[in-house]
Amino acid sequence: MKLMKLLSPGKIGAMELKNRFVVPPMGTNFGTYEGEVTDDMIAYYRRRAKGGFGLIIIEVTAVDRKGKAIVNEVGLWDDSQIPGFARLMDAIHEEGAKVVVQLHHAGRQSVPSYIFGEMPEAPSKVACPMLNFVPEAMTNERVWEIIDEFGDAAVRAKKAGADGVEVHGAHGYLVAQFMSPHANKRTDEFGGDFFGRMKFPQEIFKNIRSKVGPDYPLLFRFGHDEKVNGGRTLEESVMVGRMAEEAGVDALDISIMTYASLPYMSAPPAMPHGFNQFPTKFIKEAVSIPVISVGRYEPAIAESALLNGCADFISFGRESIADPDLPAKVAEEKYDEIFPCIGCTQSCLGYLNGGGTIRCLVNPLSGLENKVDMTPAALPKKVLVAGSGPAGLAAAYLAARKGHQVILAEKTGEIGGQFRLAAVPPCKQDIATAIRAYINQCRKLGVTICLNCEVTEEFLKETNPDAVILATGGTPLHINLEGIDGANVMDAVDVLDGSKSAGNRVLVIGGGMTGVETADYLAEHNKAVTIVEMRDDIALDEASAPRFFLIPRLKEHGVGWHVGATVKKILPDGAVYEKDGEEHVLSGYDTIVLALGVRPYNPLEETVKAMGKECFVIGDAKQPGPANKATESALEAVLGIS
């Protein structure tokens, strides 16, 4: 099926685009603290342009030193920053894409350590509910100064070679703060009713137009719903779009949320693909300029949104991190080779929020474009990969990419390991798509896949590899606990793979990711479920965005939990646990499900080393951890093959 609308050319103002694929502005933290563009940043964006995206919108670019939202946000607050941006613009243009720079001021959604020790500033002295730094209320004079800075930054972007600029009025940053009754409590010309709150963006548009001319493409990004009590909603946002068009904006870029509703920005799989498309349609129907939509799009849903009149262009945010070649693969109808975003947020938002640079669980090469050389090895080796979980799959694919002759051996009859079981609980189905993409890419690259094939010493002698990557995973952790071998006790993995069936009343021991997601699965199947967890809360190892939707879903299904509770004994119909020095009994359960974690399973390392082979132990076989660490360890192993 050819997705003709996605692949068709489009136009924003005077800017002609070769297709409807957009890389939206996403913070990468690849800049410097002083706001300079780096070689890592250039390599990252060049790779997306090379993959076929028609338009790339460069991430948050501060117009003022106090405007940064991430520690290494780039800026255009000074002429000295133009040369770095010029190199970035040239790199993107060389690969055939157009580029727009997003002009930004964080306002109250910043912290002093990001902005050179100064306090954040905002329309009013009202803190961001998430960061809780009470900002300085901007004077009227300061407001006009910032308006002028937006215009000056636009001039710098144009001098650097950008094809246009975008004003960031979304996600609760400064422009959005002025527009929102949730943040703007002013009583002067920039506050009060709709017209007062809209004066700030209107004056910014006017200032930019006066400095860059009437034909320079100007985009405006704003959220259709802030998802906070008393914030702006779709009802008012339709008029925001009309205001922007009247003020000379060439295109609208529609998003959602503020920091107080952060999970909606990097929405997990609990939100459907294309979840913003129909709210965006209401705004599109009210204006005559092009509209860009974002929100967990995959190609088929994106094509549908375009055909249904919901948008004119589609932003593929985290999908462009997972697969920079998305447009090229769509053009060639290689849909089964697309590496999908699985919505985990472990390496993109997770690393960014921790002060690091973005990466990707599914694509461990992402973010390392300037550091990792994937050209074929000068001396290809015969590489045996034992195990086909996330670590093994990634290792087989990457080793084949490096030109090695690869054998992937899986002792069961199915590819995927624990990763395959992770796709079973509600809202985790995208993981299966990632496994499928890995399998197809491995086959395309000539990987020999052996199922029902356990690696033994005899198999090692028979295949005689030069290097062995052990991705044999982990086994369920059992502790010395009375009753743990009871007939009513089973492991979470047995429940998820369907080898055992739980009764109608289930007690899950272990409230980490595996236990809680198993409970979610059982509750969806109308089981009465209770979780016992020794830590202070459940699902503490879940990423924040998936957890935001998971906990209410558990409550909706009646799942209960006891935390700070150490299980001392398993009973035929329950368990005894200790909390605060007192023992408590839980009874009346048909089934006890164990989710106590995993321990490394690595029976082959000494054998491989004794045979004189290069040996790499990766994933849970080396150290149990989240799947992003497994794929990262796979890349490290492949690069380590001598």
Beta bridge partners of 53: none
162 closest CA partner among 338, 36, 348, 15: 15
- Alpha helices, DSSP H only, in 402-543? 417-422, 430-444, 457-463, 492-496, 513-524
The helix/strand/coil state of 248 is coil
Q: Read off the tokens for 156.
A: 């710098």
Catalytic option among 44, 45, 114, 173: 173
> Cα separation of 77 and 104, whole Å?
10
567 close to 449: Cβ distance less than 8 angstroms: no
In degrees to the nearest 10, what's the CA dihedral of 453, 455, 457, 460? 90
150 close to 63: Cβ distance less than 8 angstroms: yes
Residue 484: count of CB within 10 angstroms of its CB:
16
The helix/strand/coil state of 580 is coil
Cβ contacts of 518 within 8 Å, gap of 6 or more:
425, 492, 495, 496, 508, 593, 595
> Cα separation of 173 and 433, whole Å?
34
Per DSSP (E only), the strands in 95-250 are 98-104, 121-122, 136-137, 164-169, 218-223
54 closest CA partner among 335, 255, 320: 320
181 close to 197: Cβ distance less than 8 angstroms: yes
Give yes or no: 173 in active site: yes
Residue 613: count of CB within 10 angstroms of its CB:
17
Beta bridge partners of 221: 168, 253
CA dist 70 → 105, 239, 389, 409 (Å): 11, 30, 34, 43
Active site residues: 173
